[in-house]
Amino acid sequence: MNTDDDVRRELEAVYEARKNRFRILVGIDGEDESYRGLQYAARMGANRSDCDIILVYVRPIDQGLHTGGLQARVARENLLSWGIELPGIRYLKKGLSMLVEDAEMDGDWVAEASHTDVQGDPLGDNKTEYRHKDGRSIVLKLKTAPDAASGILDQYELGPYDLIILGCGKGGRGPISSVFAPSVAEKVALHAPCSVFVARKLEAGHGHLIAVDGTDKAMEILKEEARIASRFADPKVSAICIAKTEAERAQAEAVVAKAEAMLKDEMDFQLKATYVRVGDPVKEIVDAGRDYSAIVLGCSERSLFYRMFVSSVPLEVVRRARNSVMIIR
Amino acid sequence: MALNALSSKALTQRMDAAGVRTGVRRFVNIGRQLNLYYFWEKRWFFIALAVGAGLLSVPTPENLSREGLIVLTMSVVATILFVTEPVPLPTVALMIIVGQVLLLGLESTQVAKSLMTDSVLFIMGSLMLAVAVVKQKLDKRIAWLIVRMTGTKTSRICFGISVVSGILASFIGEHTVAAMMLPVGITLITLTSDDPKKVRNLAAVLLFSICYGCSVAGIGTPSGGARNAIMIGYWKEFFYDPTNPETFKFIIDYVTWMLYAYPMFLLQLPLVTVILLFTFKPEYRDLSRAVVKLRAEVEVEGPLKPGDWVAIGFFFLILCGWIFISSDIGMGTVAVIGAIAFLVAGLVKWEDINSGVNWGVVLLYGAAISLGVQMKDTGAAEWVASNFLSLLTPIGADEGIGLWAAVSVLTTTVTNTMSNGAAVAVLGPIVLKLASVAGESPIIVGFITAVSSAFAYFTVVGTPACTIVYASGYLKTTDFLKVGWKMCVMSIIVMLAAAYVYWPLLGG
């Protein structure tokens, strides 16, 4: 009983300590897009002692039928006996080398490895944490889960995290494919309790375009975006408000003006530009945001059930946009 | 995961402030505990159950018994679950077992007995042998044998890999050889260049040479894959009558199978290399740098040890057992004797076999075959076959080569969405009855189904060899599509030519 309490207290202490840090979880799958997302995370936390970057590669739990009844571990062990690294380890190491030079790693960083058994999978979860003497850390996590989205969402539970960054293939997905075969990014964007950045054709330096609608929640999200953007050396954030009809244009203009003034007064943060467009919110946001590094939206206030089956503006933008999208929670 | 609980915290606070009634509050609390993500992830399980309930509630169609409808419903539900995999696949086996007892009213002992046949014993024994063979670590020597025979030209090495992988896979199963040869392929790739982008096409050619070499070989002998054993079991179960000598031809032994299928495999081997080289055009035409390094690695191993010779001897004895005595004692018995020999000689530990074999798959094949037999016994297979045939009649595909092509296309489609063993287990009863109804040879149609189930070139999950090779991380899912359709067209043409010209000569 005491042991349980001790563990709980220890976990609470870890959670409490992590609350003061900016923790970014980056999903790595070996594709270029995920590494672009990692570079974005690196720019956000570059040499800042309050930022931890956690790289996670999710390996699906072996389904014996796919390998004809021979466990995939037999092939995996054979690869290791040849001195060949497994793909997940290879991808994570590449990510690490993008964050820290090998020479630097020898000096100021301390590495610690740990293993967690996963029921039904002998390889389990493996973690190596590299901790810098100034407090920041980089974690490589090789995780086993039924699928990539479940693994990333499970990892959040071990967090918490401020931001999840995921690479994603081309956008422009239709509603039917999204309902029946949602991408990993869509699943995580729908269910994650923290902000999610979906990296797609990500080019840094073009700034963020945030959509605002005048509600209190939108203003809070705008502040959060300003806080995140401030982590970059040269933050460039523009705001847009969509009026559904021409008659609402004046109201939308008032919204962006209010947003700009609020950021200036409360955070001394200057928006780069403000826009108003008239039309369908999803179409207009996707269109206006195509030249930016990322489109930023607040999480929908609709229930999870509604978002899963009917969708919402942020999720629709994630699906249809051809460039990166961040959903702030 | 109580992800949705976080967002409803504010709602609870608002309810507290507004003094909302206890009943409503309880309802909202239940809603908070419901894990929508769980239901979303398992949606195909619930959809399958709903489809099953819907099928069971419709009036029984004409010419189909109530039991036939139940078995058909179970097959449809199992197929949805095989394809979508919302639950661990052995769960589907357990559901089939329980369904036979609860829905069909069969004795549980009878159902339990139907789970273990010689085909299942053979699958189990082959898997144990697969682990034992991989553990012998003969792969480096095989690699060196290949490059000694082929030289250092990329095209020759690819052909050599396909030939050696194929010949081995035709006897000991494609999964075994894919697991053994994968390090060989990756070593040749990484010794050529450390940068995967510079050897993208070379990696594709070498790795596809392994997996497609294994895939085309899996049909060569009964021990090449579980699907072959399943079809042999179905032929015996569906058509063999000990009192009727006319039906003795439906006992297909090891050699008979090889006579039908092995020439097809040999014919496809050079075509595999040609298709791969034309599709991917490797960046390096010569791999001499990698071969020199590989030779240095193999030399460290030293000469073959006594244990290696014993393992090779066992392998040939098992092969002889399958060829010469399996018709008397069963192929499953030979496979199990082989596994016993490796264990007694201390060449493999039981712990390695225990952790290397997915026993759930053995259970799954047992349950799928048991359901297939029920498809026959209840008349469900014949009913589906008759209806399928009536669909084929208007397009002239109800007999001869048209019917064979239709069966091949159907099997190829199904096998690309699930494992090839499961595809044969599901389709076998239907196509064999289809042959009977159409007046075609069940042996030829059965071979077309078993052979076509190897044409899962389009997807990663189609064949065990593809799944194992894909796990290396060097291939993309789109690569399978890019080359898979060419392989599929080639294999279908070769198979239909064999069915039309060669198989009738064997009395099929």
Do A30 and B180 count as a contact with CB atoms less than 8 A apart?
Answer: no
What is the C-alpha to C-alpha distance for residues B57 and B475, in angstroms, rounded to an integer?
A: 46
Pair B384, B72: CB distance under 8 Å: yes
Mean pLDDT value of segment A190-208: 84
Nearest CA to CA, how far is A248 from chain B (Å)?
30
* Predicted local distance difference test score (pLDDT) of residue B174: 85
Mean pLDDT value of segment B314-334: 88
Pair A188, A149: CB distance under 8 Å: yes
Do A78 and B187 count as a contact with CB atoms less than 8 A apart?
Answer: no
A151-193: pLDDT as tens digits = 888 888 777 888 899 888 766 566 656 555 667 888 888 788 8
CB-CB neighbors (< 8 A) of B140 in chain A: 82
Q: What is the 3-state secondary structure (H, E, C) of B73-111?
A: HHHHHHHHHHHHCCCCHHHHHHHHHHHHHHCCCCCHHHH
Pair B422, B227: CB distance under 8 Å: no
Share of chain A above pLDDT 70, in %: 85
Nearest CA to CA, how far is B495 from chain A (Å)?
23
Residue given tokens 């008659």 in the structure block? A247
Tally the C-alpha atoms within 13 A of residue B318's C-alpha that lie toward its C-beta.
29
What is the C-alpha to C-alpha distance for residues B230 and B214, in angstroms, rounded to an integer?
A: 19
Give one DSSP letter per residue of B2-34, joined into a string. -HHHHHTHHHHHHHHHHT--HHHHHHHHHHHHS
**Domain regions of chain A by residue span:** 2-167, 208-328
Indicate the burial class of B10 (C-beta count within 10 angstroms; 0-12, 13-18, 19 or more): exposed
All residues at 6 or more sequence positions from A144 whose CB lies less than 8 Å from its CB, including other chains: A58, A59, A60, A61, A118, A121, A123, A124, A125, A151
Pair A300, A307: CB distance under 8 Å: yes
> Does domain A208-328 fall into CATH 3.40.47.10?
no
A22-51: pLDDT as tens digits = 888 999 988 888 898 888 888 887 667 788
Pair A292, A208: CB distance under 8 Å: yes
Q: Which domain holds residue B404?
A: 118-506
Encoding tokens for residue B171? 């006897």
Q: Alpha-carbon torsion A39, A41, A46, A49, what sign?
A: negative
* Predicted local distance difference test score (pLDDT) of residue B55: 92
B456-505: pLDDT as tens digits = 888 777 788 888 888 888 888 888 888 989 998 999 899 888 888 888 88
State chain B's mean pLDDT as an integer: 84
Mean pLDDT value of segment A84-96: 85
Angle (nearest 5°) at CA A127 between A124 and A129: 175
Q: How confident is the model at residue B11 (pLDDT cuts 50, 70, 90)?
A: very low
Q: What is the 3-state secondary structure (H, E, C) of chain A?
A: CHHHHHHHHHHHHHHHHHHCCEEEEEECCCCHHHHHHHHHHHHHHCCCCCEEEEEEEEEECCCHHHHCCECHHHHHHHHHHCCCCCHHHHHHHHHHHHHCCHHHHHHHEEEEEEEEEECCEEEEEEEEEEEECCCCEEEEEEEEECCHHHHHHHHHHHCCCCEEEEECCCCCCCHHHHHHCCCHHHHHHHHCCCEEEEECCCCCCCCEEEECCCCHHHHHHHHHHHHHHCCCCCCCEEEEEEECCHHHHHHHHHHHHHHHHHHHHHHCCCCCEEEEEECCHHHHHHHHHHHCCEEEEECCCCCHHHHHHCCCHHHHHHHHCCCEEEEEC
What is the C-alpha to C-alpha distance for residues B85 and B386, in angstroms, rounded to an integer?
A: 30
* Predicted local distance difference test score (pLDDT) of residue B313: 92
* Predicted local distance difference test score (pLDDT) of residue B207: 93
Closest CA to B412 of B457, B466, B362, B348: B457
Mean pLDDT value of segment B47-67: 91
Q: Of the ranges A259-268, A274-283, A307-316, B314-323, which is most confident?
A: B314-323
The DSSP bridge pattern shows strands A324-328 and A294-298 to be: parallel
Q: Of the ranges A66-75, A233-242, B310-319, which is most confident?
A: B310-319
Residue A74, beta-bridge partner list: none
Query: Helix, strand, or coil here: B305?
Result: coil
Pair B378, B100: CB distance under 8 Å: no
Residue given tokens 């006897």 in the structure block? B171
Asked if the domains A2-167 and A208-328 are classified in one and the same CATH topology, the answer is yes
Cis peptide before B222 (omega within 30 of 0): no
Pair A232, A39: CB distance under 8 Å: no
pTM: 0.77
Give one DSSP letter per residue of B110-158, joined into a string. HHHHHT--HHHHHHHHHHHHHHHHHHT--HHHHHHHHHHHH-SBHHHHH
The DSSP bridge pattern shows strands A195-199 and A208-211 to be: unpaired
Question: CATH code for A2-167?
Answer: 3.40.50.620
Do A67 and B356 count as a contact with CB atoms less than 8 A apart?
Answer: no
Q: How confident is the model at residue B310 (pLDDT cuts 50, 70, 90)?
A: very high
Closest CA to B352 of B135, B36, B185: B135
Q: How confident is the model at residue B98 (pLDDT cuts 50, 70, 90)?
A: very high
Question: How many structural domains is chain B composed of?
Answer: 1
Q: Tell me the one-letter amino acid at A24.
A: I
* Farthest CA pair distance, chain B: 87
Residue B249 lies in a domain: yes
Residue B166 lies in a domain: yes
Encoding tokens for residue B73? 């419903």
B115-153: pLDDT as tens digits = 888 888 888 998 898 889 888 888 888 888 888 888 889
Mean pLDDT value of segment A80-105: 80
Q: Alpha-carbon torsion B481, B482, B484, B488, what sign?
A: positive
Closest CA to A291 of A166, A174, A201, A171: A201
All residues at 6 or more sequence positions from A185 whose CB lies less than 8 Å from its CB, including other chains: A166, A167, A168, A196, A198, A318
What is the C-alpha to C-alpha distance for residues B184 and B474, in angstroms, rounded to an integer?
A: 13
Partner residue facing B41 (CB), from A122, A150, A157: A150
Residue B269 lies in a domain: yes
Query: Helix, strand, or coil here: B65?
Result: coil
Residue A219 has pLDDT above 90, yes or no: no
Do A68 and B174 count as a contact with CB atoms less than 8 A apart?
Answer: yes
What is the C-alpha to C-alpha distance for residues B226 and A257, in angstroms, rounded to an integer?
A: 69
Sheet strands side by side (includes A137-145): A109-118, A121-132, A137-145, A51-60, A22-27, A163-167, A195-199, A324-328, A294-298, A208-211, A237-243, A273-278
Residue B1 has pLDDT above 70, yes or no: no
Mean pLDDT value of segment A294-303: 73
Do A84 and B89 count as a contact with CB atoms less than 8 A apart?
Answer: no
Share of chain B above pLDDT 90, in %: 24
Query: Helix, strand, or coil here: B62?
Result: coil
Partner residue facing A70 (CB), from B88, B131, B418: B131
Do B179 and A191 count as a contact with CB atoms less than 8 A apart?
Answer: no
Q: Which residue has the higher pLDDT, A115 or B424?
A: B424
CA dihedral B121, B124, B125, B126 (to 10 degrees): 120
- Pick the residue from chain B with its C-alpha nearest to A190: B37
Looking at A74-78, B292-296, B299-303, which range is the least confident one? B299-303
B366-423: pLDDT as tens digits = 888 888 888 888 888 888 888 888 888 888 777 788 888 888 888 888 887 777 788 8
* Farthest CA pair distance, chain A: 70
Nearest CA to CA, how far is B283 from chain A (Å)?
21
CB-CB neighbors (< 8 A) of A308 in chain B: 36, 40
State chain A's mean pLDDT as an integer: 80
Residues 116-175 of B with CB under 8 A from A: 123, 127, 130-131, 134, 137, 139-140, 173-175
Query: Helix, strand, or coil here: B286?
Result: strand
Q: Which residue has the higher pLDDT, B389 or B27?
A: B389
Encoding tokens for residue B329? 């004692």
Q: How confident is the model at residue B330 (pLDDT cuts 50, 70, 90)?
A: confident
Tally the C-alpha atoms within 13 A of residue B60's C-alpha that lie toward its C-beta.
13
Encoding tokens for residue A126? 């493996």
Residue B237 lies in a domain: yes
Pair B356, B118: CB distance under 8 Å: no
Closest CA to B82 of B481, B490, B420, B455: B420
CB-CB neighbors (< 8 A) of B178 in chain A: 75
Nearest CA to CA, how far is B290 from chain A (Å)?
15
